[in-house]
Structure 1
């Protein structure tokens, strides 16, 4: 015991602050000012949920270190943002904090079930053990043990009564912090009885008058939003913020653009802002660009932008969701990886891993897990996003008409629009993770998108310009490309990269605007294994001709850089798009 009421050992936040001179510290302590404003007022029950590796535990440890009496006099926040706030001294280390780490409780419960000497009569389930453990931890304080012992209501498992007894004795209220609040909904997802027992406990604590009177502030964090039954939240007393609806707390869900820009200015950072942006940014929350904080820290520490998304268990969850194949979601995942954005509705998502009834639910869960980014169409300003809205305007109108035909009110139609979100793959790190997942599936090679990509590569290697042009036209007309303005050579380059993505994953690396010969070639596909596959050089033209593109490759001698390494195993391709006829033309030759 002694790990729940005012635990005072070092934690992630304290370690980070004490090592700030040689580790990356992004000061998010201004979040404490937000929680201070909620004390003893409406809104003092707060839930912020976000994906793994997005700083949930560090934030929980920060709140613990600030509010708990156990850290009084340690000056942990000197020089940090919160120290300049008017509420700083009022709440600093003034409270008994009940800190519940559900991962730790689960591990202890497993050990408890395996050792008969530890077992207590009547404490038989995880929730029983949770209540019993908190009560026993409170009793580590001799005064609290005495008042709890005098209460006839407490027993082994009446946690609410135990808290009430202590509050009546002290005249003070607790701060409660629960990390991984949703563990039971994830690890015991098929145990409906246990889940009901858990939600009954939370309801007793946070919806009953007796329980509510015990807390000056309660903070829940985890991956999943608070569970909904039908359309209602089981804990509607909480102000809830999550990846689907972050509200005013969007800037606390990860590192912001400005915060990463400051990291890059540090002498210990040798990675550019553009590299970090490409790999780890892209979570556009409430119009704010958010970076994965764990990955940024690892990249700066190791001086290497690679995938730090090590999520074996969550990968298994993604595989399960994709293989449910609601409404062709397998094909949708391929299009998302290619760069497409897909509209979905989050209104019916019940915030768990079991009640998955549609593609909308799958996308909601993938957003919560961090595998997809999520934008609110109402926050969009870019041309791309406008195009997406235009493409889906007809669908939205159809939905509204159907709503009215079913006799529902205009208010219901407005709710439908309010719950609309746009899903997309946020960055190179997540793209890499999803690629690894889908490539291992037995359906992967059977998908039409994959077959078309293989056909396109074969056509280029067969020097078949007509077939290459036809297949590029198909890619251009696909959802992954058609949402973009197709009016530059750059857009044409993107179209071809998209078309070749799946067939070149293992055998080629591609480079854009590669310095070669007397200038820069638009696109190069370089084999990963020398001597097996041909090098492919591609030059693009817009509104001109494929002949001009091919002629430029030869005149500028773009191939000269590569001839020694690849002898004559080099393919030259000139591709043009005619904006008047809306057709592609392609000429392909092998270097002689």
Structure 2
């Protein structure tokens, strides 16, 4: 059974998504991606925060392009079916699907990790093209060239070893693996690669410079497909009666496209509508997702900014550089904020930095309660008592709290 070549896993997963009550049709992105097939712009890396729909789009692409099965029924009712090139690309390609978050059961070395993918590709190619079994190849790329076929590569969580700080001494080797497999190869029709961390800072020289990157900070082409738009969110709200659009907007809005259109956190919106309750669905998947993890790198520089943002204000700051894979832990004020933008913890538009919504506000308020924030932490912990004393005109109590935190 195939592991990564022309498998039906992406089809099955996308079918489940389409069957969901709160499904949102993002298939229009296929037209844009198909236009890049077999062009110099066929290398695409889209990096967004977790829970923003990257893997859902990847599964959709696998289901649409893969030639191993017929997915016409699945796509005929979607937006892509109304485009001129719909039939020309539907189920026409060999698709190689790699999820880089797989870890070997046996062996914890970098070599064991890479064997998972190399062996899977090699086995699947030889199974699909048995005439190659009699030949010897020095590399996967040689074997793929020998098929005399073209492939679409869809690669999920490309940055897994970077975001999880695995095998740091082999980061360069990993990039070299991707370069050797993909760059300037005649068998590559298209590469769609996703993750959280951009690649450009770590990738030196010509290693992965064939990719065009689309990030939280800079994405003029695909931003509307990652996150729910205002119209999409309103459409979903009409499918239930427990929550209003105003409640959803307050909790999960806060990101913007280049033209100023609103974007909502998709997973949180769906969870809230399914549960009939607005609450924080922010999923912490490790230290790199936690507000406090970043703020602790330089609390002295960011403390005042955070207090302002928690009180609903924005911070004016010019941020041009991405926080990227392999970059050292952020130290400066700008680096900290660049990292938090990359992870979706802060939104950035027109030179203004802000906490996106109520869901993230809760995360920042929790962070402020940490002892490393000193007097701010004490103030936050006692804020309820201070407010109660103020409303009841107990001036001596208020004065006592304020004296203690100074």
The two structures share one fold, judged by TM-score above 0.5: yes
The offset of 1:61, in angstroms, is 0.2
Contact 2:197 2:323 (8 Å CA) reproduced: no
The offset of 1:227, in angstroms, is 3.9
Give the alignment partner of residue 214 of structure 2, picking from 241, 245, 256: 241
2:244 counterpart residue number:
272
2:337 counterpart residue number:
363
1:257 counterpart residue number:
230
Map 1:43-54; keep pairs closer than 5 Å.
43-54=41-52
Deviations 1:257-305 (A, max 9, x none): 0111222223x34321111111111101212210011111111111111
Q: 1-side partners of 2:203 and 2:66: how far apart?
A: 37
**Match status 1:146 vs 2:131:** yes
Contact 1:95 1:174 (8 Å CA) reproduced: yes
Q: 1-side partners of 2:164 and 2:33: how far apart?
A: 29
1:135 counterpart residue number:
122
Q: 1-side partners of 2:36 and 2:343: how far apart?
A: 28
User: Secondary structure at 2:74's aligned position in 1?
Assistant: coil
1:2 counterpart residue number:
2
The offset of 1:463, in angstroms, is 4.6
The unaligned stretches of length 5 or more in structure 1 are 378-420, 472-592
Q: 1:45 to 1:423 in 2, by over 3 A?
A: same
Give the alignment partner of residue 436 of structure 1, picking from 351, 361, 366: 366
Q: 1-side partners of 2:253 and 2:71: how far apart?
A: 38
1:503 counterpart residue number:
none
2:32 counterpart residue number:
34
Q: 1-side partners of 2:133 and 2:198: how far apart?
A: 33
**RCO higher in 1 or 2 (8 Å CA, sep ≥ 6)?**
2
TM-score by length of 1: 0.62
2:54 counterpart residue number:
56
Q: 2-side partners of 1:289 and 1:146: how far apart?
A: 53
Q: 1:80 to 1:127 in 2, by over 3 A?
A: same
Structure label with greater radius of gyration:
1
Q: 2-side partners of 1:325 and 1:164: how far apart?
A: 50
1:425 counterpart residue number:
355
Map 1:201-220; keep pairs closer than 5 Å.
201-207=177-183, 209=184, 211=185, 213-220=186-193
Contact 2:171 2:326 (8 Å CA) reproduced: no
The unaligned stretches of length 5 or more in structure 2 are none
Map 1:335-374; keep pairs closer than 5 Å.
335-352=308-325, 354-355=327-328, 356-374=330-348
Q: Which has the higher strand share?
A: 1
The offset of 1:364, in angstroms, is 1.2
Give the alignment partner of residue 177 of structure 1, picking from 154, 157, 174: 154
The RMSD of aligned alpha carbons is: 2.9
Contact 1:230 1:350 (8 Å CA) reproduced: no
Contact 1:13 1:58 (8 Å CA) reproduced: yes
Q: 1-side partners of 2:189 and 2:160: how far apart?
A: 24
User: Secondary structure at 2:122's aligned position in 1?
Assistant: helix
Q: 2-side partners of 1:230 and 1:244: how far apart?
A: 18
1:161 counterpart residue number:
142
Deviations 1:353-393 (A, max 9, x none): 64224221111111111111111x2xxxxxxxxxxxxxxxx
- Count, aligned residues: 395
1:113 counterpart residue number:
107
